[in-house]
Amino acid sequence: MKKILLASTALVVTAGIAAADVKVSGDGRMGVVYYDDNFARVDSYGEEQNWQFNSRIRIKFAASGETDGGMTFGGSIRADNALGGRFGTSGDVFISSDTFGTLAMGDVDGAAETVVGDLDMISLQGLFDQNEMLYLFGANDPSALYTYAWEGLTLGLSLSDDQEYALGAGWDGGMWGVGLGYEYLPEGGNVQISIDDQDITIFRGVNEDTEQLIGQAYVTFANITLKGAYGEIKQGSQNADQYGVSAIGDFGQFSVAAYYRVLEGLKGAQIVGGGTIQKDKLENYGIGAAYDLGGGASLVGGIASVFGGDTTGDFGLKFAF
């Protein structure tokens, strides 16, 4: 009897596995990073070091299935974020169909970020990610994101439990495209963004609604994509602007990218833990390149000037599994 029960259990388990599509993927990197004096670390002997090793590996799990009516559902999460997945602050789950669109919840981007995106850059480990545009939505997960795509048109709406919302609309014409997004945060708290891996309050007033209008346009020719983006954040009488351009080219196994981006109106912004931003205008620019070694491995490097003149660079190997 026990053998029959065990066999029945095994059939149920394997049938469930066969009905689902489970994938394991990952990424890794290894190399060196340079920081100038403002970001240099102090080693175990108390000496300031401008160079340091940098390595990482991450494993991602993704699973999906299909209802009898033809709707696809599933989710994904990185192994290092497994605990956050229990509370919706990491990973995401979704349900989707061609006619319905896609509804996702968890650690998802806002609709404006989904449609507008960021400027292009190539580097080993990000170089403070100052090619990325600032977005207000998404600090308080889990959030909900609905998108509907038809041919080149994408529409999006995102909501959070804190009554934040974002809208986005974009057109991808292949050779050219545009995107426009709007974000709204209700009064009652400071607006925080991340610069130099620190949370800063970009507006000191807390009793005003905060909103951002942000847009992007791109054009592609001869394997080169040029992109421009602009965003204006307002909270009462205070405002901050961000704008920039980028170019990325793909030439077979070799690719190169560069960007220039400006943040204005951040002077006096409070840094959590102490201090304030001292400059009203922060210029960020960088250039990077990658060579595809095949099999998911690439030789990658970049250099950037960030936060108004601080230099950082990196070089090494990237892996995709």
Residue 10 lies in a domain: no
Residue 214 lies in a domain: yes
Domain of 292: which CATH number? Answer: 2.40.160.10
Domain of 297, in residue numbers: 24-320
Calculate ∠ Cα 293-299-301, nearest 5°.
Answer: 155
CB of 203 within 8 A of CB of 193?
no
Residue 107 lies in a domain: yes
- Number of domains within the chain: 1
Residue 18 lies in a domain: no
How high is the pLDDT of residue 14?
A: 46
Q: pTM for the full model?
A: 0.88
314 in helix, strand or coil? strand
Q: How far is CA 129 from CA 6, 88, 204, 261, 284, in A?
A: 52, 25, 24, 11, 10
Rounded average pLDDT per 10-residue block, the chain, 321 residues: 42 49 96 86 80 95 94 95 89 94 95 96 94 86 94 95 92 95 83 67 70 97 96 88 97 97 85 75 95 97 91 97 94
How high is the pLDDT of residue 161?
A: 86
How high is the pLDDT of residue 204?
A: 59
Q: Which helix (H) or strand (E) holds 61?
A: strand 51-66
How high is the pLDDT of residue 43?
A: 75
How high is the pLDDT of residue 12?
A: 44
Residue 173 lies in a domain: yes
Residue 17 lies in a domain: no
How high is the pLDDT of residue 15?
A: 46
Residue 19 lies in a domain: no
Q: In residues, how long is the chain?
A: 321
How high is the pLDDT of residue 41?
A: 78
Residue 12 lies in a domain: no
How high is the pLDDT of residue 200?
A: 72
How high is the pLDDT of residue 273?
A: 65
d(CA 180, CA 110): 12
As beta bridge partners, residue 59 has 26
CB of 281 within 8 A of CB of 297?
no
